[in-house]
Structure 1
Amino acid sequence: MKRIATGAALLVAALFPLFPLYWMVISSLKSPEELSRIPPSWWPETLTFDAYSTVFDVVPFGRAFGNSLLIAGLGTLSVLVTSVAAGYAFAKYRFPGRDTLFWALVATMFLPAVVTLVPLYWMISSLGLSDSYLGVLLPWLANPFGIFLMRQFCADVPDELIDAARVDGAGEARILVRIVLPLLRPAVVTLTVFAFVFYWNSFLWPLSVLQSDTKFPVVLSLSQLLSYASSVRYQSVVLAGALVASLPTVVVFLLAQRVFIQTIARAGER
């Protein structure tokens, strides 16, 4: 009986995070009349896809998705490369000031993004990179959390394995790519999910740097739906746009969820 009660409690707790997604889906499928009804219905009486038709007419999703994929793809790749290389160096190399530099790097994780917004904007402007994809990517090509995560996993790689490879004549780059990197697969997958979601959902920084509508990622392109947000009758259009924009991040998580959960469980055992 106790196990049943515990399982029921865990099921209810797990459903809470899914409720906003459920409400977004069903609301996007309601008619304007049903959406403005009080009390609200828990399931659409008549399914309608008019909101999605309106969204695809208003928002240039093809171009916006291409921009987001370019920014998120290049940003994620850069974070993976820099995090694995720096994490390996911090974990396996001894040099003066290593620990001080590492913890100073970790301390930057606690800086609110808004604090660095103005200095970063002036830096990008002075380099002439305003309204460019490089301007959006440059400040985030390396990530302190990614370096911290990789350093923790690299520390678990046996030193004897690396020393044996060096004795066999393997260079440091080959050791990192052929020996260490395969052992970091769970951490790499986890960091890929975090980095992709971060870049895909990034709003404030691209809004500050980009001025051309043709370069807007999908989260900025959704601003074209603001005129529909002023009326409850047309909230289904806004919700449909938000759902379409969030689908890639959901797909990425679903593809990586098995390894992702294993990594979180392993990290909890440390």
Structure 2
Amino acid sequence: MKKKIDVSKYFAYLFLITVCLIWVIPLIFGISTSFRSQAEVVNEGFRLLPVNWIVDNYVTILENTSSAPILRWIGNSLFISITHTLLVVVVISVTGYGYARMKFKGRDVLFFTLLGISFFPNVVNIIPMYRIMDLFGWVNTPWAMIVPGLAGMGNIFLVRQFMKGLPMELDESARVDGAGDFTIYFRIILPLIKPVLIVAGLFSFIGSWNDFLWPVIVFTDVQRMPVTAGLLLLQDIYGNYQMVGRLMGSAILAIIPTLLLFLFAQKHFVSAINLNAGLKG
């Protein structure tokens, strides 16, 4: 007997291929534009690939270390994102342990109250948060981006739900042997929650790297800007039609770190999908 044709499967493949092309073609065009000459950008119109491949745009970008130091911006973003991610992992693991494994009065009420407050848009906190950063003297410093968001309730909720799936007998047997909360957290719970911490760390790094509105507000010093705020500044420097290649080249350089992160940690991104799908309340 002939195999029954699964029409829905072919439609699913067609849909996925179409979505992939919609996403990939602008990316290819952006990369190819960064290798075009200014004359070709102006005169040739839309071409997926350039007629003549040149690297002059990248040479100009990298040589400009005064008004648009792209490599310094990328270094600033790396320091901010890595430091923020490491601190996030520490904060959410300790906080998640408190909400999931420790018993104290009002624990659940406090947790769900903070979780509800976190549903408000972050934009409503911009003015008070800026005043706080200014009060601490953190404007134009990396701490203005590192500290806010360390105790994100989304990550804490993820870690808490993962910890609640671990048997409480682990804690009870450890307490019988004389272990305290710190020992239980550090030697028993922490090794078991590494998968969820890796997932939260990856998303925290990407969120910090891609943050745009907040760094534009708190950074005015060109040499201290992260790359997202720097790209906005580049619109004034390379924003005219004849310098689109340089602007696109700067944008391509800015996505290289996150692209490398995805290539080396893609299995953890896949596990994040399974982890979110399998959380127990």
> More displaced, 27-36 or 5-14?
5-14
Q: Which residue is 2:31 aligned to?
A: 25
Question: Residue 121 of structure 1 is aligned with which of 113, 130, 133?
Answer: 130
- Residue 6 of structure 1, aligned match among 2, 12, 25: 12
Give the structure 2 partner of residue 177 of structure 1. Answer: 186
Give the aligned length.
270
Going from structure 1 to structure 2, the CA distance change for 1:42 and 1:207 (only over 3 Å counts) comes to: closer
State whether structure 2 residue 223 is matched by structure 1 residue 214: yes
1:38 is displaced (CA, Å) by: 6.0
Tell me the equivalent position of 2:41. Answer: 35
Q: CA RMSD in A?
A: 2.2
Alignment CA distance shift 1:29-1:141 (3 Å)? same
What does residue 250 of structure 1 align with? 259
TM-score by length of 1: 0.90
Secondary structure of the structure 2 residue equivalent to 1:164? helix
Identical columns (%): 33
Q: 1:151 to 1:207 in 2, by over 3 A?
A: same
TM-score, normalization by structure 2: 0.86
The amino acid that maps onto 2:219 is: L
Deviations 1:216-253 (A, max 9, x none): 11222234422355433321111110110111112122
- Structure-2 separation of matches of 1:246 and 1:89: 37
Cα separation, partners in 2 of 1:25 and 1:124, compared to 1, 3 Å? same
- Secondary structure in 2 aligned to 1:129? coil
Residue matched to 1:98: 107
For residue 39 of structure 1, report the CA deviation from its aligned partner. Answer: 4.9
Matched, 1:44 2:44: no
- 8 Å CA contact 1:55, 1:237 repeated in 2: yes
Q: Which of 71, 74, 84 does residue 93 from structure 2 map onto?
A: 84
Q: C-alpha displacement at 1:26, in angstroms?
A: 1.7
Q: Equivalent residues in 2 for 1:91-170 (5 A)?
A: 91-170=100-179
Q: Please list every run of 5 or more consecutive structure 1 residues that lacks an aligned counterpart in the other structure.
A: none
Q: 2:34·2:57 contact (CA, 8 Å) conserved in 1?
A: yes
Gaps of 5+ in 2: none
- Partner Cα separation in structure 2 for residue 33 and residue 126 of structure 1: 49
8 Å Cα contact 1:189-1:260 kept in structure 2: no
Query: Is 1:57 the equivalent of 2:63?
Result: yes
Residue 36 of structure 1 aligns to a residue whose secondary structure is helix
Separation in 1, partners of 2:215, 2:11: 47
